[in-house]
Structure formats: structure tokens, C-alpha cells
Amino acid sequence: MKSDLKQYEMDYSDKKENRVASLLIFAAWTAFGIGLLLFVLPWWKDAATGSFVSLCAFAAAGAFLRGMAEIIRLLHGIHLKMK
């Protein structure tokens, strides 16, 4: 996948080198899953106070972690290109 500058490619092939990025993506999906669970659970117990806020907060945290993972992968691609 090319970056916006169309100079560097993101490297998705080397899983060992992208371990930090993979862990951040796992943390992002985990955060979104927890937020979804906290959103659904109060509806099941008829106490829906703050469930939408918790869903938004965990989704924002997941999006932030996913963005950081993509930045790490892009920087890794730039580093490999400069070698």
C-alpha cells in the first residue's frame, strides 16, 4: 500500500518486524470489543446510562491505537527504503 506521498510502501509482509504494530492492532480490536460489550450489556440489564459514551470512548481509543500502528508500519517502510 502506497503512502499519500506515493514514495514509500507500507510493509505488511514481515510479521516479526511489525510485532509492535500487530500488538497495537490487537489492542485496538480488543478496546472496540470491550466498548461494544459495555454498550450491549446495560441494554440487557435495563440500565442504559452512559453506554453510548463508553462505546464512543472505546471506539476512539481503538481508532487511536490503529492509527499509531499504521504510523509505525509506514515509518518501518521508510526505514527499509533508506537502508
Asked if residue 4 is part of any domain, the answer here is no
Domain tally for the chain?
1
As a whole number, the mean pLDDT across the chain is: 75
The b-or-e profile of 23-60 (16+ CB within 10 A means b, else e) is ebbebbeebbeebeebbeeeeeeeeeeebeebbeebbe
Q: Which domain holds residue 52?
A: 19-82
Asked if residue 10 is part of any domain, the answer here is no
Asked if residue 44 is part of any domain, the answer here is yes
Q: What is the pLDDT of residues 12-39, one digit of tens each?
A: 555 556 777 788 888 888 888 888 887 7
